[in-house]
Amino acid sequence: MTTSPVEAQQTAQVTIQGAIKAHGGEENLAKTVTGSLAAKSTMALGNIETSMSWEETFDLPHRYYRKISGQLMGRDFSMEYAISDGSGWIRQNGGEAKEYKGEKQPLERSWNAFLAMLPLCLGDGVKLQAAGEEKVDGREAVGVKIQGEVVGSEAIFFFDKKTGLLVKSRRRIQHPLSREEVEGEVLYSDFKKVSDVQYPHRITIYVSGKKVGDMEITRIEFLKQIDDHLFDKP
């Protein structure tokens, strides 16, 4: 029996609504755009591999501060930067802080805004469609195709059939090393409750079937406001 477009839309809406509830509810998900975290990761681009750890304070989509240290091709490196609406300052390896001029980025371009985006997927102008089922890490997951500015253009989100949690996204992303726009898959796992939000503490990125990034969040907290002084140029 063929599913009509209206039925596919309704099924997709129910799936998104269930995911919002499973992750902690719309009010709690709104908290996830402001906070601080610590993480460690490994990334790869061809034969180039890097391992790093970082601290990040964020108030999305407007501003974020990051302090990164690690090894790239066997050499130590560090980077620190603070960006407000696309502009700010950056310094490398403990050197002089330099002005940075970029472009203001929408919420969907923030790597850690994936849960805050879920309620927005139910908004006006967003087209939803059931996108079948597949296994993610050995567990059955149901897909929802999302079209609209809320995801940039188009994406497919996959939700665990039993828990309702977001376990994978398939969309255009920035490669974690080259920063080029690529078609990628991001897997979310190791969920833990943080301020009543079920938040993944492991995020794994694949491009063309190859793992290019693996990140473990070691600490995360959501805040009502962040320290403005983090954005003062040293």
Q: Estimate to the nearest angstrom the gap between the alpha carbon of 132 and the chain centroid.
A: 23
Quick check: 2 pLDDT over 60? Answer: no
Quick check: 204 pLDDT over 90? Answer: yes
- The two three-digit tokens of residue 37, written as one number: 């975290």
Q: How confident is the model at residue 10 (pLDDT cuts 50, 70, 90)?
A: confident
- The two three-digit tokens of residue 222, written as one number: 């959501």
Quick check: 203 pLDDT over 60? Answer: yes
Q: Are 204 and 217 in contact (CB under 8 A)?
A: no
Name the β-bridge partners of 46: none
H helix and E strand count, the chain? 3, 13
Quick check: 4 pLDDT over 70? Answer: no
Question: How many Cβ atoms are within 10 Å of 77's Cβ, its own excluded?
Answer: 14
- What is the reported pTM? 0.92
The C-alpha atoms of residue 183 and residue 83 are separated, in whole angstroms, by 26
Q: Are 44 and 51 in contact (CB under 8 A)?
A: no
Task: Name which of 145, 159, 213, 217 is nearest 185 in CA terms.
Answer: 213
pLDDT given for residue 6 in this prediction: 65
The mean pLDDT value for 100-109 works out to: 92
pLDDT given for residue 174 in this prediction: 77
Convert the pLDDT of each residue in 164-192 to its tens digit: 999 999 998 877 666 778 889 999 999 99
The C-alpha atoms of residue 43 and residue 216 are separated, in whole angstroms, by 12
Residues ≥6 apart with Cβ < 8 Å to 147: 126, 127, 128, 129, 153, 154
Ramachandran area for residue 105 (φ above 0: left; ψ -120 to 50: alpha; else beta): beta
- The two three-digit tokens of residue 59, written as one number: 């108030």
Quick check: 35 pLDDT over 90? Answer: yes
Residue with tokens 């460690």: 40
Cα–Cα separations (whole angstroms), residue 182 to 46, 173, 201, 205: 14, 6, 23, 11
Average pLDDT of the chain? 93
- Please spell the DSSP secondary structure of 49-63, one letter per residue: EEEEEEEEEEETTTE
Indicate the residue type of 7: E
The C-alpha atoms of residue 17 and residue 177 are separated, in whole angstroms, by 34
